[in-house]
Amino acid sequence: MATTSDIRNGLCIKYNNDIYKIVEFLHVKPGKGPAFVRTKLKSVTNGKVVDNTFPAGRKIEDIRVETHKFQYLYSEGDTYHFMNEKDYSQIQLQKSALDAPDLMKEGEIVTIIINSEDDMPLSVDLPASVVLEVTHTEPGVKGNTATNATKPATVESGAIVNVPLFINEGDKIKVETTKGTYQERIKE
């Protein structure tokens, strides 16, 4: 058993007969009254996000998990196929278990969190940012770049990302996976 002082991003806990992953948390100490921890929990079974507040010092039931590196192979409909880098075993996960499936390209290395009690995959963590090639975007108009104007661009994984006007087809861009936002253009 853990307490609220052990709460951190990525921790898996058992709450309301389900397994949740802590997406974000904030420890609050108001001037009046007891301290508490405000959390945002994501269910690993159905993907639903729940806001919850725990009183400070409350016991929470944490889940023992293991992390393994997997390579994303391909997708068939809503089923995504991954291969373990160490023993080359393959697993399939549903689209609902992934945080940002539209930002994954084939061959990408991801971290899969597995429940050590029953060997069930709980969630898939992408790297903080990925480099993707722009496959389609409208050309930018010269002289229209004085403001922070953006335009939609389709990247090789199929996702649509808002990019600055100077980005063209064929450019490689770095995309932040948590928000799906443009970070920078990559020069070769």
For the stretch 33-67, pLDDT in tens is: 899 999 999 887 777 889 999 998 889 888 888 88
The stretch 11-17 carries a mean pLDDT of 86
Which pLDDT score is estimated for 36? Answer: 92
Alpha-carbon span 22 to 155, nearest angstrom: 29
Do 119 and 135 have their domain in common?
no
CA angle 109, 41, 127 (to 5 degrees): 15
The whole-chain average pLDDT of the chain stands at: 85
The stretch 174-184 carries a mean pLDDT of 86
Which pLDDT score is estimated for 53? Answer: 92
Please choose, from the candidates 50, 43, 52, 55, the residue with its C-alpha nearest in 3D space to the C-alpha of residue 5. Answer: 55
For the stretch 76-111, pLDDT in tens is: 888 889 999 888 888 888 887 777 788 888 888 998
Which pLDDT score is estimated for 71? Answer: 92
Do 119 and 80 have their domain in common?
yes
For the stretch 155-168, pLDDT in tens is: 888 888 888 888 88
Do 103 and 119 have their domain in common?
yes
The stretch 138-154 carries a mean pLDDT of 75
- Please list, in sequence order, all residues whose beta carbon lies within 8 angstroms of the beta carbon of residue 109, skipping any fewer than 6 positions away: 69, 70, 71, 72, 85, 127
Do 19 and 48 have their domain in common?
yes
Alpha-carbon span 18 to 9, nearest angstrom: 18
**C-beta neighbour count of 60 within 10 angstroms:** 19
Do 21 and 58 have their domain in common?
yes
- Which residue range forms the structural domain that includes residue 35? 2-62
Do 78 and 120 have their domain in common?
yes
Do 69 and 49 have their domain in common?
no
Number of structural domains in the chain: 3
Question: Strand, helix or coil at 96?
Answer: helix
* Domain limit, last residue, from 97, 125, 153: 125
Please choose, from the candidates 157, 121, 97, the residue with its C-alpha nearest in 3D space to the C-alpha of residue 172. Answer: 157
